[in-house]
Amino acid sequence: MLLDEEFLRKLEQLSLLSRRIRRSIARGESISIRKGASLEFSDYRLYQPGDDFRYLDWNIYNRLDRLFVKLFTAEENLTVHILIDTSKSMAFGEPSKLWYGGRLAAALGYLAISNLDRVGVSAFADGIEHSMQPVRQKSHAFALFDYIAGLKPSGRTDFNRTLREYSLRTRRPGLAILITDLLDPGGYVEGLQALIYRRFDVLLIQILDESEMAPKFRGSFRLIDGETEEETELTVESETVSAYQDRLGEYFQEVEQFCLSHDIEYLRTTTSIPFEEVVFSYLRRGVFVR
């Protein structure tokens, strides 16, 4: 079972939010709020001719003898797009990266559904394999869990192609949650930029196995690429591992810097970290879960 009932009850106490919030100034009779949106007070500005008197703050006027209009923030229901990497490299580890990522996808999907957001999920490798279209209804959670539980790793990764394809075919951008090991030799920049261009908010979750972070084996080996099946003869010594970790650290810094400069929320975790801790501690520190 992906998630037990006790865990689901805890999830329902959280809210999934997009950072993209539509600001509007309430004025006149022409204001309209989309179905499912709500207005929350945000700020003030000085009154301008034509503003609706209903939104004047008379308490401030009594204190300062100046007219101020209340500003509001409209918070709309999201469309949440969950994209799960199901390439062969995600089969690695115990538990596998795909199993761990699937539980994260189920938790975040349930969280969004509980918040009455539209939720869709897609599996990808070198392209979109198959998808569940975004739906807004509570019963959708069970179909979502079944879909995720049935995912199997296969194929090579083409991260950039997948996200370009997805960004072009999606009519309703929203929050894109990407769950992947991000181990594509072709890189990730073009794909993420395609989502940003289409005005998606992006939460990138990179999942690795602990042995990918700190290899413990030493000696002579024949390494076989899990996706391409290419073989490499390699002698692993302490110096080899040290050089590998230095390069891996540089790669992580590159990803972090790219995400920071493009306003992408980025979380890196390993399957050795308890799943519940990632959901309730690490994700809570970001801007999407509260």
User: Domain ranges in the chain?
Assistant: 5-11+77-285, 22-75
What pTM did the predictor assign? 0.79
pLDDT recorded at residue 188: 96
Q: Percentage of the chain surpassing pLDDT 90?
A: 45
Average pLDDT over residues 26-36: 37
**Alpha helices of 126-237 — where are they, by DSSP H?**
140-149, 159-169, 189-197, 210-213
Contact 54, 92 (CB under 8 A): no
- Judge: domain 5-11+77-285, CATH 2.30.38.10: no
Better-scored residue on pLDDT, 161 or 282: 161
DSSP 8-state code for residue 220: E
* Structure confidence at residue 76 (pLDDT): 59
DSSP secondary structure code for residue 51 in this structure? -
Handedness of CA 112, 133, 95, 249 (dihedral sign): negative
DSSP class of residue 78?
P
Q: Which of 98-107, 176-185, 224-233 has the lowest mean pLDDT?
A: 224-233
For the segment 16-26, the average pLDDT, to the nearest whole number, is 47
Specify the range with the lowest mean pLDDT, choosing from 38-52, 115-129, 207-221: 38-52
pLDDT of residue 51: 72
Tokens 């894109």 map to which residue? 176
Return the sign of the alpha-carbon dihedral for residues 177, 182, 184, 188. positive
For residue 166, give the nearest of 183, 150, 178, 181 by alpha carbon.
178
